[in-house]
Amino acid sequence: MTIFLLNVYNTSTDTADVVIPPKTKILYLSDGDSLDRLDPVEQPDTTTATTVELIGSSGGSNAQLTAIADTRLSPEDPNRNYGSTTLFDYRPADGNDEGSRAIFLFDLSSIPSGATITNANFSIYVENNKDWTIDIGRLTQSWVEGTGNGTTGAGADWEDYDTTNSWATSGGDFAATSHSFVLDDVDDSFQGGDVTSLVQDWHSGTFPNHGLILYATTFPSGKDVEIHSRENTNKPVIDIAYELGGGSVIRSK
């Protein structure tokens, strides 16, 4: 539970919504999903800006974000898109190729501006689990999910980030991170790992949010897994815990 003490300044003449006096000090109580006003105290003022100023807060909030886009990148089928596929066949290296990869995008707009990410955990649902490590990279190029189910020219693939433009490097443009996780060899279960610093960097604007990529530098011989995509029942998610500090938010209608 989070408690907010706000100074609300409003000069809007729009009467379609609840009218807020020119300056009002209000106590709000939040369960993480909504703000409920408890006790407004009117303090008239001639302030001209329409501003909500966060005076203080306690506690934290949680959010679960579902992937808004995902697809598979396969060196075996470098020009095929898998944007509408329900299962990503995550293959091991074969000969000299680098193994298939999967990319995911999450919308962080529901996390309030100025929030501090205290924990973020990325999870995928995996069938035929194997005991090996998956690395998580930060994508550095925007991309198009596409509508293909192993079809050509439908969206991002091993060679292109959309239907016509090539990645700088085949297999996706990304920066390595310190994040990875080990599949625990339990079939049909959610697997994942910590991505707190990555999500904080996206949220703070340190890096643009182009999503993340799953890849592996080494694979045990002859092993592969199947990952549920966002089109499946068990969707990829990031579970986020965050706290709000002091600051101000400008709201406009």
Q: Where are the domains of the chain?
A: 2-59, 63-242
Phi-psi region of 4 (alpha: psi -120 to 50; beta: other; left: phi over 0): beta
Residue type, 49: A
Average pLDDT, the chain: 78
Reported as a pLDDT band with limits 50, 70 and 90, residue 244 is confident
Tell me which of 83-92, 169-178, 196-205 is least confident.
83-92
- CA-nearest of 236, 239, 238 to 125 is 236
Tell me which of 15-24, 59-68, 73-82 is least confident.
15-24
Q: pLDDT, tens digit, for every residue of 109-149? A: 999 988 999 999 999 999 877 777 888 999 999 999 999 99
Give the pLDDT confidence score for residue 220 in this predicted structure: 60
CB contact burial 123-161 (16+ within 10 A = b; e otherwise): bbbbeebbeeebbbbbbbbebbbbebeebeebbbbbbbb
Handedness of CA 73, 76, 80, 86 (dihedral sign): negative
Percent of the chain scored above 90 by pLDDT?
50
Give the pLDDT confidence score for residue 98 in this predicted structure: 66
Contact in structure between 138 and 174 (CB atoms under 8 Å): yes
Give the pLDDT confidence score for residue 79 in this predicted structure: 95
Asked whether the predicted pLDDT for residue 94 surpasses 70, the reply is: no
Give the pLDDT confidence score for residue 85 in this predicted structure: 94
Please state which CATH number belongs to domain 63-242. 2.60.120
Q: pLDDT, tens digit, for every residue of 16-63? A: 334 445 545 554 444 444 454 444 444 444 444 444 444 334 458 999
Give the pLDDT confidence score for residue 92 in this predicted structure: 58
- CA-nearest of 235, 9, 223, 205 to 108 is 205
Give the pLDDT confidence score for residue 33 in this predicted structure: 47
Give the pLDDT confidence score for residue 95 in this predicted structure: 53
